[in-house]
Amino acid sequence: MVAVAIVSIAAGVVGGILAPSVVLDVVSFWPLAVGAFFVGAALLPLRKRGPARISALLPLLLITMLGASVVLHLTGWEQLPSSSADLVGPSAAGVESAELTLSLAGRLSIASGPRDLYAVKVERRGGSTGVPEALESAFEDGPFFVVLREADGGRWFRTSGWELSLGVGPIWSLVLDAPDVQADLTALQLRALRLDGGGSVALPLPGEGDVAITIDGVFVVEVPAETKVEVIGASSVPGGWVETADGYQSPFAGPSLLIAVVDGAQVEIRQP
C-alpha cells in the first residue's frame, strides 16, 4: 500500500493532476517518516511474539503521512514548501485607487479579499505556468500601480494557473489577459476594465460614474440586475434590450457599464 501511494503521487505529477511541488511537500514530512520507523523498530520485539496486525502499524503510519501531506498540499497550507511560490501584496488600507495589469498563459481565477491589496496563490495542479512576480509603484495622491507577470520558478513550481484576490477598498482599473479567466468582481469598485483571452466575468454595480470596459476574445459577461448597460459592437444580449446605432442598451437608468466589444470578439452578456 505504501508503494501504491508513492506510485499514485508520481503518476499524478506525470499526468498533470498534481503540481511537481507536491514532491517537495511530501519530502518536508521526513521527520514524521523517521519517527514512524523508530516506532516500528520499538514494536519489533512485540511483533515477533504478539498479534500479526502489529506489523501493519508502520505502513499505516507512512500511508497516513503521505495522505496528509498531499491533502495539505492541495489546500495550500502556508507552512509547506509549495507555498513559497505564493505572493502577497501590501495592505489595502489607505489605498484609494489602484491599477493592475496581468498577463498569464494559464488559468486565472479572481475573487475579492478583505485585507491585502492583492494576493496570488498558485494552483496545485500541474501545468506550464510559472510563479507570480510583482512590479509595484506608487505616487503621492495618485493610484497604486501593480504589474503581475510570470517568472521561472524552476521545474518544481509549474502549475495550471493562479488564484488572484483583490482588495475591496480601492477603486480598481484592471487589464487582464489570460486564455481562461474566471472572475467574480461583484464586490469590487471598478473604474475601468480590459479583458483579453476568454472565460467568464461577473461585473459589479457601477459607482457614481460610468465604468469603461473593453473586451477582446470569447467571454460570458454577467452584469447586475436593473443596471444601465451600453454595448458598442456585436454581442449577444438579453431579451428586451434596445438596439442602437452602435450596439445595444439595457432598459434601465443610472450610471452605466460602457462595454466596447472589439471586432472579431465573441461576447455574451447576461443580466438576471
According to DSSP, the β-strands at 171-184 and 107-113 are parallel
Q: From 185, 191, 196, select the one nearest 264 (Cα to Cα).
A: 196
Residue pLDDT, tens place only, 16-52: 788 888 888 888 877 766 665 666 666 556 555 555 5
> Span 85-111, mean pLDDT?
94
Boundary residue ending a domain (52, 82, 112): 82
Q: Mark whether 58 and 181 lie in a shared domain.
A: no
Are 100 and 26 found together in one domain?
Answer: no
Compute CA distances 184 → 22, 224, 228, whole Å: 28, 12, 19
d(CA 183, CA 200): 6
pLDDT of residue 4: 74
Contacts 24+ apart (CB under 8 A), 241-250: 250/223
Q: Of residues 161 and 114, which shows the higher confidence score?
A: 161
Amino acid 49: pLDDT = 53
Whole-angstrom Cα distance, residue 10 to residue 25?
13
Q: Given this model, what pLDDT does residue 161 score?
A: 94
- pLDDT-derived band at 58 (thresholds 50, 70, 90) equals low
**Bigger pLDDT: 248 vs 16:** 248
| Maximum Cα interatomic distance, the chain, rounded to a whole number of Å | 90
Q: How confident is the model at residue 99 (pLDDT cuts 50, 70, 90)?
A: very high
Q: How confident is the model at residue 56 (pLDDT cuts 50, 70, 90)?
A: low
Beta bridge partners of 249: 230, 242
Give the mean pLDDT of 175-196: 97
- Examine the domain organization and report whether 57 and 143 are in the same domain: no
Looking at the fold, whether 67 and 52 belong to one and the same domain comes out as yes
Q: Do residues 157 and 49 share a domain? A: no
Q: How far is 233 from 224, CA to CA, in rounded Å?
A: 20
75 lies in the same domain as 108: no
pLDDT given for residue 141 in this prediction: 76
Question: How far out from the chain centre does Cα 132 lie?
Answer: 11
Grade residue 67 by pLDDT with cuts at 50, 70 and 90.
Answer: confident
pTM exceeds cut of 0.85: no
**What's the burial of 141, exposed, middle or buried (CB within 10 Å: 0-12/13-18/19+)?**
exposed
Q: How confident is the model at residue 212 (pLDDT cuts 50, 70, 90)?
A: very high
Span 200-211, mean pLDDT? 93
Query: Which structural domain range is residue 260 located in?
Result: 89-270
Residues 131, 250 share a domain: yes
- Over range 142-162, report the average pLDDT: 90
Number of domains in the chain: 2
Domain end position, chosen among 82, 98, 128 = 82
Residue 103 neighbours by CB distance under 10 Å: 15
For the ranges 16-30, 95-109, 154-168, the lowest mean pLDDT is seen at 16-30
